[in-house]
Amino acid sequence: MVRTKRNSPIPRQAAAVRATEFQYPTVKISYLPIDVQKRNCNIFTITKNRRTRRRFKALPLETLGTFLWYSWKTGTRRIDQNGRSFEFRPAPSAGACHPHDLIIFRKEGKHFSVSLYNPLSHALMRLNCIPSKTLKFVSKINQVLPIQQGTILWLGCQSSRTESAYRFSESLLWRDAGVLLGVMALVAEGLGLAFCPLGITGEPHLSGLFKSKGHVEGFGGAILGV
């Protein structure tokens, strides 16, 4: 195996580099139900029982909302004097940068809707994507693992968020992605859902959906279902 040696990340001075935020082609916003009910789950029981499950039934929107509330929802946010945003969510992120967006593919008849999860407002932002490109992406996922009636959750990385805070930030992006998948797996187990991470990145198909010119890249994902 050929290994690529990566430099160790180095924090930048404040406001040394500004992040460039990609604007997704949003056409509709749907707010999800707020789930503030305390779940009577023991984290040690969840870690003991967690298993990868590969049979996926359709996921009700309310259940998806509960899953996102406990795995992705921003708890607090602050902006410093230099205009840099820090968000605190269930999964840790280097420098609280959270470079990964969550792109959600849900089956609607013969087609798939594509939405971006907004962790601040707990909403699904419907995206305008070419159906043929969406189906091409979904077919690649289906070749790895049959989707059945599951919901596809994919990480779209905006690397400039972490690059604005660290030099040599590449390894941090992958570590953040791994932590996110781990947190999602534990939340899915706690809610009694089927969850299976996939090994592919999703490139170049995910970035091609938005013609992002490298501003958004696929960093892997998973299938979720009942």
Q: What is the pLDDT of residues 23-82, one digit of tens each?
A: 999 999 999 988 766 677 899 999 999 999 999 999 999 999 999 999 999 999 888 777
**pLDDT above 90: percentage of residues in the chain:** 79
**Residues β-bridged to residue 77:** 87
3-state secondary structure string, 120-171? CCCEEEEECCCHHHHHHHHHHHHHHCCCCCCEEEEEEECCHHHHCCEECCHH
One DSSP character per residue, 23-39 reads: ---EEEEEEPPP--PPP
Say which residues have a Cβ less than 8 Å from residue 86's Cβ, sequence separation at least 6.
77, 78, 79, 80, 95, 96
Residue 104 CB-half CA count within 13 A: 22
Q: Radius of gyration over alpha carbons of the chain, in Å?
A: 17
**pLDDT above 70: percentage of residues in the chain:** 96
> Cβ(99)–Cβ(176) under 8 Å?
yes
The torsion angles phi and psi of 84, rounded to 5 degrees, stand at -85, 135
**Region of poorest pLDDT, from 38-52, 116-130, 137-151:** 38-52
Tokens, residue 175: 């570590």
The pTM score is 0.93
